[in-house]
Structure 1
Amino acid sequence: MAMGKTPGDSEGNGEDVGFAEINITPLTDIFLVLLIIFMVTSSVIVQQAPGGAQTGLKVNLPKGGTTDVTARATDLSVAVLSDGRFVLGGNVVGEDELKRAFAKAQEENPDTVVIVQADEGVPHGTVVQVMEMAKSVGLGQLAIGVRDSR
C-alpha cells in the first residue's frame, strides 16, 4: 500500500498514513476498450444455421413446435423480409434471380432442400410464391424456418 506523510510536515517527522483515493482511470480505460471490441465483433457476426446454410441477416421467425430439418451446406436458404424482398446468400435478389438460383441448385443436386425463412409479418401468399417458384423448377423438398418455441 502506498504510504505518505501527513500534509504540512516539512521535516518528515509526521506519521505515515495511507492515501484515501484509488486511481480507477486505468480500470475504466480497460473496460471501454473491451466494450468497443465487443461492439465491433458483435456487428460482424453473421447468423448461420446449424448445418452451414447461411442467410446473412437476422429474420424475425415465427415460433414453431419442433425443428426436424437440419440444414446442410448444399441446401438453399431463402429469407423473405417484412417488406417482401427476397434474400439469398446475404444478397437481396429479385424473382428472376431467385428462379435462376433454384434452377442451378436443381441441376447440381436434385435433392436440395429449399428452406424459406419468412419474417412474422410476411403475408402467407409471399411464402407460397417462393415455394411455387422452387417447385416449378423441380425442387420438391421444401421447409419453413421457425424459431424453437422453448
Structure 2
Amino acid sequence: MAFSSNSSGGGPMADINVTPLVDVMLVLLIIFMITAPLMSHKVKVELPQATLEEKPKIDQPPITLAVTANGKIYWNDEPVSRDALDARLAILAQRTPQPQVDVRADNITKYGVIAEVVKQVRMAGIRKVGFVSTPER
C-alpha cells in the first residue's frame, strides 16, 4: 500500500499506480508486433492457366424417346416397338461420339415403364441418357 507524502495527512493514497500496467502493455504490444507477421502463412502457388478453347459443335442432335402413359415408345416422334428399339440403340451405341438420348414421358406414365426404357437404353451401351421436363413457372 502506498502512502502519500502530502501535508494533508498520512493516509493511504487513492490513485492507482499505472506504471506497472503501462510496462505490461508495452511488453505485450512488442510481442504482438513481432509475432503477428509470423502468423500469416503466405504459400506461393502457381495456378494453372485457363485456355479458352471453343467446344466442338455437336453434329448429331439428341435422340428423343417419348413414352406415353399406355407404354408406347416413340423414336423422334416415330412409333417403334421394343425389339426395333433394341436394334436402333445397338446401332446408336456404335457411333463415335455417341449422341445423347433424351427420355420424355407423360406425367401420368408409371415409373416402372420409364425405368424399363432407361434400363434398355443403358443396357445397349448408351452413356448419355437425359430426361426432358417442362420448366417451372
Q: For this structure pair, what is the TM-score category when the shorter chain's length is used for normalisation?
A: 0.5 to 0.7
Out of 66, 88, 93, the position equivalent to 1:106 is 93
Pick closer, same or farther for the CA change 1:120–1:134 going to 2, 3 Å. same
- The question of 1:134 aligning with 2:124 is answered no
What residue number does 1:50 align with?
none
Matches within 5 A, 1:18-57: none
Matches within 5 A, 1:77-116: 77-116=64-103
Q: Give the Å deviation of 1:145.
A: 0.5
For 1:125, what is the secondary structure of its paired residue? helix
Provide the TM-score with structure 2 as the length reference: 0.53
Q: Which runs of 5+ in 2 are unaligned?
A: 1-57
Matches within 5 A, 1:4-23: none
Number of aligned pairs?
Answer: 80
In 1, distance between residues paired with 2:76 and 2:131? 16
For 1:111, what is the secondary structure of its paired residue? coil
Q: Give the Å deviation of 1:110.
A: 4.7
Identity %: 20
In 2, distance between residues paired with 1:110 and 1:103? 14
For 1:121, what is the secondary structure of its paired residue? coil
Q: Give the Å deviation of 1:100.
A: 1.1
In 1, distance between residues paired with 2:73 and 2:65? 7
The runs of 4+ residues in structure 1 deviating greater than 6 Å are none
The structure having more radius of gyration, on CA atoms, is 2
For 2:122, what is the secondary structure of its paired residue? helix
- Which of the pair has the greater relative contact order for Cα pairs under 8 Å at 6+ separation? 1
| 1:107 aligned partner, one-letter code | Q
Pick closer, same or farther for the CA change 1:138–1:89 going to 2, 3 Å. same
